[in-house]
Amino acid sequence: MNDEGCTYYDDIIEQMTLGHRFIKSEFNQTLNIGWHIDPFGHSAPQARLFSEMGFDAWLFERIDYEEFEEGKENGELEMVWRPESYNREKNYLLAHVNFMKHYKAPFSYCITVICDPDSEFMHDLPSRYAEWMKNQLSYYPSKRHILHQVGGDFEWYGLRKIILI
């Protein structure tokens, strides 16, 4: 992931080329969906460059708080991201903003095997989680489907350490 706010276009291309080569050589896969877990803003050429690099969709953990609130108010936390110039009809991406605005389990829900499965908290977790997700539907255009990752990099890191021990 490059810093989207203040990176030169050639640095963006170099960073993505390095990442694509690694994925292709290690896993023999070509990616068409990207996820920026911790961006610090978005520069104008990002949508165009990502589209030209073969991406169809881009997922964001967070965006500017004013844009996020406006997206919630208008039900547009998912949208078509088009560059302001340079072939707008060809270079665009489906963009999805995560409702949580950061990468972890919602509201400190315990989602790993570290939790005590007999606790009262775990007993009604599925229904509370489902209700929480349903409450987000109005913020996205489809009103039927939303995307939400469960857990974050540091959360699962702790789980991995426990499993390895």
Catalytic residues: 38
Tokens read off for 39: 């961006």
Which element (helix H / strand E) includes 35?
Answer: strand 33-36
Which element (helix H / strand E) includes 78?
Answer: strand 78-81
Place of tokens 């349903």: 134
Contact 141, 78 (CB under 8 A): yes
Torsion 58-45-50-152 (CA) sign? negative
Amino acid identity, residue 10? D
In SS3 terms, 80-107 reads as EECCCCCCCCCCCEEEEECCCCCCCCHH
b (16+ CB within 10 A) / e for 22-51 = eeeeeeeeebeebbbeebeebbebbbbbbb
